[in-house]
Amino acid sequence: MLEAVLLGFLFSLFLVFAGSYFKGKLAVLASLVPISLFIYFCTYLPDIANGEIVYETHKWIPSFGVNLSFTLDGLALLFALMITGVGSLVFLYTSAYLKDHNYLDRFYGYLSLFMAAMLGLVLSDNLMSMFIFWELTSISSFYLIGFNNDKADSRKSALVALGITGIGGLLLLGGAVLLGDVAGTYRISEMVMLQDIITDSSQYLLIILLIFGAAFTKSAQFPFHFWLPGAMKAPTPVSTYLHSATMVKAGVYLLFRMSPVLSGGEMWHTILIVVGAVTMIYSAIHIIFRTDLKGILAYSTISALGILVFLIGIGTQAAFIAASVFIVVHALYKASLFLITGIIDHETGTRDVTQLSGLRKVLMPVAVAGFIAALISGGVPPSLGFVGKDLIYESTLHYADSTILLTLIAIVTKVLLFYAGFVAGVKPFMGKLPEKFSKLHLPSPLMWIPPLVMTLAGIVFGIFPGLIEVGIAKPIASTHVPDFEEFHLKLWHGFNTILGLSAITIALGTVLYFTLKPKHSLEKAIAKLDVIAPKDLFLKLSEGFSEFSRVWTNIFQTGYLRHYLSIIVGFLTLLLGYLIFSDFSLNIDVSTLADLTIYEISILIMLLLGVLYIVFTKSRLAAVAATGVVGLSFSLLFLFYSAPDLAMTQFSVDTLTVILFVLVLYKLPKYLKLSDSKLRIKHRILSISFGSLITLMILRVLNEPKNTEVTEFYAEKAYKLAHGKNIVNVILVDFRGIDTMIEISVLIVAALGVFGLLKLRLKTRDKK
């Protein structure tokens, strides 16, 4: 399985070098990657249908319990097939949709990066590796949403999406760490056995809140839903792939995967049902007010995600079966509708549903696909949508709590989704063909075959629901439900309540479709409420945050060196002052100290004179020379206290420092008094107090007992292990050689930085 996950990463890496070959006619070959992966995962179907679970583990950071552990069970297989299956069709579609696009290779690179990350996410059995793949999907989707990077709103949407899903990623990390701490393992398959321990732990509530935060941001649940409609700025293949079929379902996947571990507490069910229900009805109502095809589809996607969260919250066997079937249903019809919208947009140049009509006359196969997609979406028999809808009603009807309310919410949502499906899939093709669209012709088959394939699959699965039952629904239910009962998916259940509800839904949906027309006036009316919409509240929050950081930065980043120095020194003074005066004891036994020699006295005098000269001189160069004197006096001091290495280095460094200072300061104008006397007094107070504190600190050090353990270790081992007698040098080149390695790298970076800063400026000046 590792190879399957890596294939996408390797392919995108390959495109970095060979990208130019994948721009023209060869672009369609890129689809071989997802197609081969799809076939690969299909070969696992018989095993999984027999109830087997495939494990595979590769060591990564075993000391932290972080490994690349992969599990392929029913749930993972469902998602893997969806990712690679929809992926194959999207890859094919893209080769025609973005034909001759300048950056088509880049697009494929991001797309396969995303696919690989998504596969890694759904196959991971280790929460930590799942987190890494989770973040990778956020990052690759950032590039995909912002693919049209010359448009400002496209860039903004990409940033909003990254911000929201990035916060979710952090929450997931927090949840994973806490969960790993409580369970003592990061492996999800091991956590399942520890459900009681996790539920009873004091951290349980915090863990589920963190996991919910991650899932709700990724899967666009209320109130984090607003990034999804914005993300529709991306090219249509991206909306199809990421924002309907796969990435937004990552949150649903997380909840699905964790529900055997975390569903022990009452809070799990309550929160999921409430949030799911609010999301599904809130965004379903939003659909009425949209006229942009993609907007309609975006809100209906959010609503569908709400249904999934809601079903996982219910958490009965019926609900899990309903959720797994509905995941398939939704992927089939929503991806098709997005692809169809893409074709309409590509051919007519508009997505405004009020302007589109009669397109069946020019785009017949697309119209067929649209009609079938609408049937699946509306749950009309004999499509798989019908099976899915019945399962949803079954799970709400058999839930112990507030049955009627939940069923009612489900019905209202389904009616509105029926309406959405027909507006997006049928309305553009009905009625009279406007004059301006009469010259349209059918695009490349690569574009209209994928939606047709998916919708036909929806019909085939609807007539033979056993295919879904054996391959997907049963393996998932049997691993997720402790007391699993046999069941059979059927298109026809006989006359019962559910059939009645289904008929009511379809009837109401049809009435709604024929009475309510999408209007711009409605869209404008709802726009007035934007002020209190979560989106604006979040944007205001982020604006406030950046305003705060602007003010905060301006306080500290004044551009004056003296200001920076006073802030740093002032902060250190406060810190040291607190440290010293909170626990101050100083007793120096003068008698133990050695007498001052004449050399030391003369060096001290030199030092003092040098410092005084620096402070009072009016010449900059003289001050620099005097700092040299201070430095050299220090190296003499080192020499007397038997640190010849230090003395040599100090001597050379000081020489070079003075030269550098002279080079820089030489060209500056004459010494000027730029600060007033008040400021100078402030600086004096600051420097004197800082100096005295440092002195006190050093005197304190004398009180501490000497620890010579380290010195002895090196003295003993230096010659034995490293063939050297100079401990300092042996430490530098051998014991702590990697430190030195990094230090010289830093040195190079600094030199290159100086070189780049100054030389680049010189070049532009030369050009003038």
Partner 1 sequence: MRTIILKSASSYLLPVLLLFSVFILLRGHYLPGGGFVGGLVAAIAFVLDAFSNGLDKTKSVLKIHPGFLMPLGLLIAFFSGISPMVFTDMPLMTGLWAKNPIPVIGAVGTALFFDLGVYLVVIGASLTIIFTISESA
Q: Which is nearer to partner 1, 203 or 740 (CB)?
A: 740
Residue among 541, 529, 531, 550 at smallest CA distance from 160: 541
- Decide: is 21 part of the binding site for partner 1 (CB under 8 A): no
Residues 588-607 that bind partner 1 (CB under 8 A): none
Q: Which is nearer to partner 1, 59 or 761 (CB)?
A: 761
Q: Identify which range of 313-321, 444-452, 619-627, 716-724 contacts partner 1 by CB under 8 A.
A: 716-724
Q: Identify which range of 242-250, 257-265, 384-392, 737-745 contacts partner 1 by CB under 8 A.
A: 737-745
Least separation in angstroms between residue 264's CB and partner 1 is: 46
Least separation in angstroms between residue 59's CB and partner 1 is: 18
Q: Give me the residue label for tokens 């705060």.
A: 548
By CB under 8 A, name the one of 57, 185, 357, 649 that touches partner 1: 649
- Decide: is 729 part of the binding site for partner 1 (CB under 8 A): yes
- Decide: is 655 part of the binding site for partner 1 (CB under 8 A): yes
Least separation in angstroms between residue 763's CB and partner 1 is: 11
At residue 654, φ and ψ (nearest 5 deg) are -65, -40
- Decide: is 478 part of the binding site for partner 1 (CB under 8 A): no
By CB under 8 A, name the one of 557, 652, 675, 703 that touches partner 1: 652
Question: Is 72 in a helix, a strand, or coil?
Answer: strand
Q: Do 257 and 188 meet the contact criterion of CB atoms below 8 Å apart? A: yes
Distance from first CA to last CA of the chain, Å, rounded?
59
Q: Identify which range of 253-261, 269-277, 501-509, 726-734 contacts partner 1 by CB under 8 A.
A: 726-734
> DSSP string of 580-639?
HHHS------GGGSPPPPHHHHHHHHHHHHHHHHHHH-S-HHHHHHHHHHHHHHHHHHHH
- Decide: is 745 part of the binding site for partner 1 (CB under 8 A): yes
- Decide: is 741 part of the binding site for partner 1 (CB under 8 A): yes
Least separation in angstroms between residue 755's CB and partner 1 is: 5
CA 534/CA 545 separation, integer angstroms: 16
Residues 629-648 that bind partner 1 (CB under 8 A): 644-645, 648
Residues 746-765 that bind partner 1 (CB under 8 A): 747-748, 750-752, 754-755, 758-759, 761-762
**What residues are paired with 72 via a beta bridge?**
54
By CB under 8 A, name the one of 54, 167, 522, 722 that touches partner 1: 722
Q: What does the CA dihedral 182, 183, 188, 192 come to, rounded to 10 degrees?
A: -110
**What residues are paired with 59 via a beta bridge?**
67
Could you give the C-alpha distances from 477 to 318, 319, 390, 469, in angstroms and in order? 9, 9, 17, 10
DSSP single-letter state for residue 57: E
- Decide: is 671 part of the binding site for partner 1 (CB under 8 A): no
- Enumerate residues 6+ apart whose C-beta is below 8 A from 512: 415, 416, 418, 419
Q: Do 189 and 125 meet the contact criterion of CB atoms below 8 Å apart? A: yes
Least separation in angstroms between residue 738's CB and partner 1 is: 6
- Decide: is 742 part of the binding site for partner 1 (CB under 8 A): no
Least separation in angstroms between residue 62's CB and partner 1 is: 18
Question: Is 649 in a helix, a strand, or coil?
Answer: helix
Tell me the number of residues near partner 1 by CB under 8 A. Answer: 43
Whole-angstrom Cα Rg for the chain: 34
Least separation in angstroms between residue 714's CB and partner 1 is: 14
Q: Do 426 and 370 meet the contact criterion of CB atoms below 8 Å apart? A: yes
Q: Identify which range of 160-168, 386-394, 682-690, 735-743 contacts partner 1 by CB under 8 A.
A: 735-743
Q: Do 49 and 474 meet the contact criterion of CB atoms below 8 Å apart? A: yes
CA 220/CA 229 separation, integer angstroms: 10
Q: Do 624 and 658 meet the contact criterion of CB atoms below 8 Å apart? A: yes
Question: Is 207 in a helix, a strand, or coil?
Answer: helix
Least separation in angstroms between residue 194's CB and partner 1 is: 37
CA 79/CA 56 separation, integer angstroms: 18
Q: Do 328 and 385 meet the contact criterion of CB atoms below 8 Å apart? A: no
Least separation in angstroms between residue 751's CB and partner 1 is: 4
Question: Is 55 in a helix, a strand, or coil?
Answer: strand
Q: Do 450 and 90 meet the contact criterion of CB atoms below 8 Å apart? A: yes
Q: x/- binding map, residues 124-163, to partner 1, per CB under 8 A?
A: ----------------------------------------
Cα–chain-centroid distance for residue 686? 45
Q: Which is nearer to partner 1, 667 or 706 (CB)?
A: 667
Q: Which is nearer to partner 1, 598 or 757 (CB)?
A: 757
Least separation in angstroms between residue 641's CB and partner 1 is: 14
By CB under 8 A, name the one of 51, 184, 500, 737 that touches partner 1: 737
- Decide: is 724 part of the binding site for partner 1 (CB under 8 A): yes
The amino acid at residue 744 is I
Q: Is the dihedral of CA 135, 137, 141, 144 positive or negative?
A: positive
By CB under 8 A, name the one of 364, 608, 659, 697 that touches partner 1: 659
By CB under 8 A, name the one of 403, 557, 619, 726 that touches partner 1: 726
Least separation in angstroms between residue 711's CB and partner 1 is: 17
By CB under 8 A, name the one of 531, 663, 674, 698 that touches partner 1: 663
- Decide: is 767 part of the binding site for partner 1 (CB under 8 A): no
Q: What does the CA dihedral 409, 412, 415, 416 come to, rounded to 10 degrees?
A: -100
Residues making contact with partner 1 (CB under 8 A): 644-645, 648-649, 652-653, 655-656, 659-660, 663-664, 666-667, 721-726, 728-730, 732-734, 737-738, 740-741, 744-745, 747-748, 750-752, 754-755, 758-759, 761-762
